[in-house]
Amino acid sequence: MTIEILSYNASILNPLLKMAVPLLFALAAGYFFASRRKFGGLLHQVATLLFVGALAWLISSVFRLEGDFNAQYKWGESVFALVSAVITLFIAIRVRSRLQEISGIFESGGEGER
């Protein structure tokens, strides 16, 4: 027996959380878009990738919400979650390579000054 507030079918938290998630992803996408417009260079590239990732997660979460009402939309959640995972992996690889480049600059610059 589960507590009613934690029950998937009976709890008010279930639909509220499903509505909150797209709103939070939309907010994150807005922040990334503003950062994309404000910054240039590497920060622009990273903000663009994060913006695209947030949009993919936003679409996935909307399909998740709609999937509760129309079963044919359930596939969209999985497809866009996969797209989001690929974008996130690409972002991680790109940011890591840039961080390694930056780390190399600081390491070589610090030793050359001594």
CA 105 to chain centre: 29
pLDDT at 108: 74
Q: How many CB atoms lie within 10 A of CB 33?
A: 16
Question: From first to last of its 114 residues, what are the pLDDT tens digits of the chain?
Answer: 667 777 777 788 888 888 999 999 999 999 999 999 999 888 888 889 889 989 989 998 998 888 878 888 888 888 888 988 998 898 889 888 888 887 888 877 655 444
pLDDT at 110: 55
SS (H, E, C) 66-101: HHCCCHHHHHHHHHHHHHHHHHHHHHHHHHHHHHHH
- Those residues whose C-beta lies under 8 Å from the C-beta of residue 26, and which sit 6 or more positions away, are 58
Q: What is the pTM (predicted TM-score) of this model?
A: 0.74
